[in-house]
Amino acid sequence: MSAPHRVVLVAFPPAQMLDITGPLDVFNAANNAAVEAGLPLPYAVILAAPAAGPVATSSGISINATHSVFDPALQADTLMLAGGGGARQVRDDAPLVAAIRALCERVTRVASICTGAFALAATGFLDQRRATTHWAHFDEFAHAFPHVKIERDALFLDDGKFHSSAGISAGIDYTLSLVERDLGKAIALQVARELVMFLKRPGGQSQFSAQLAAEVGAGDPDRFGELTRWIAAHLADDLSVELMADKIAMSPRNFARRFIAAMNVTPIQYVQTLRVDAARRLLSDSALPIARIAERCGFASSEAMRLAFHRHLNVTPADFRARFQSSKAGA
């Protein structure tokens, strides 16, 4: 980059603080890493809002916006729309929607963070495009914007110049992915280390781990909490219903009945979901052969893992790896 890439981050009061400060810290760390490497300053970041000045946030602390989105002279290379309660109400403010639409037309890359997708979708630019947002607002978003192809299993994604990311921390993952695109993996790795985070949480993967998703949907997740934690640490074992029942001193029949009542899933289905989730991580983050991954995750064979992947994800392990394996793991 000869001149700094100009990023305009827009907050809509009351804004979600981490949707603002998370990306800002990633860009700041990238600037520091680039300068330390003897490179020109890569990013110039400004905060904008419907009006310049203090911007209220949901955390109760105001943050200062130096520019207004209504300023026709406002220019950006990348436009990012932060989420929060205010972003979800943008669609009811026609002049504000028009100003954001004009901004979108003037930039080469547009992104939404969390429920910032509501503000972006209000412009109409996401119609017939793929997008995601915070999981808690999927139904609200789908009702408000029926022409947007909402992706419920994505941390972040892009469709042309329009990008979107899921809830809060996913905005940090997404911004780090931009740094990797713009500046390369070496700088992105340094930023990730500085912020003590993973370099790549693949954008097309689920917003939740399988264990968390199962526990969120459970009626009584604490009932078998100790057992489920043990299962997650022993996926390579022969996790039969009999073995799990013996682990907590119950008869297999009673255990299976009570597990279903508490977790809304059978014990075997729960184990297989965790095994698929563990295999996904190894396919993404390691260069281990598929047969070895199947063994480590407790599948009877590579074919058994392939069938499980097709059942849960409608994709083969090989295709999943081709799509999501990090370049570092591939090397």
CA angle 236, 253, 224 (to 5 degrees): 55
**Weakest mean pLDDT among 153-167, 219-233, 263-277, 285-299:** 219-233
Q: What is the pLDDT of residue 203?
A: 44
Is the distance from CB of 181 to CB of 163 less than 8 angstroms?
no
Write the pLDDT tens digit of every residue in 270-324: 999 899 989 988 987 788 999 999 999 999 999 999 999 988 877 789 988 876 6
- Residue bearing tokens 């760390």: 29
pTM: 0.68
Predicted confidence band of residue 155 (pLDDT cuts 50, 70, 90) = confident
Q: At what angle do helices 169-183 and 17-36 cross, to 10 degrees?
A: 30
Lowest mean pLDDT among 69-83, 150-164, 207-221, 239-253: 207-221
Out of 7-21, 41-55, 221-235, least confident range: 221-235
Lowest mean pLDDT among 113-117, 173-177, 222-226, 263-267: 222-226
Query: What rounded mean pLDDT belongs to the chain?
Result: 89
Q: Hey, how many other C-beta atoms are within 10 angstroms of the C-beta on 296?
A: 16
Is the four-CA dihedral 263, 269, 273, 278 of positive or negative sign?
Answer: positive
* Domain-wise residue ranges, the chain: 5-194, 210-330
Q: What is the pLDDT of residues 175-212, one digit of tens each?
A: 998 998 999 878 888 888 888 765 445 444 454 455 55
Give the per-residue SS3 of 267-295.
HHHHHHHHHHHHHHHHHHHCCCCHHHHHH
Q: How confident is the model over 244-259, as pLDDT tens digits? A: 999 999 999 999 999 9
Overall residue count recorded for the chain in this entry: 331
d(CA 73, CA 71): 5
Residue range 210-330, CATH number? 1.10.10.60
Q: Give per-residue pLDDT as tens, 16-39.
A: 999 999 999 999 999 999 999 999
Q: Residue 42: name the closest of 141, 186, 234, 204 by CA.
A: 186
3-state secondary structure of 131: strand
Q: For residue 168, what is the DSSP state?
A: T
Residue 161 pLDDT? 96
Q: Would you say domain 5-194 falls under CATH 2.40.50.100?
A: no
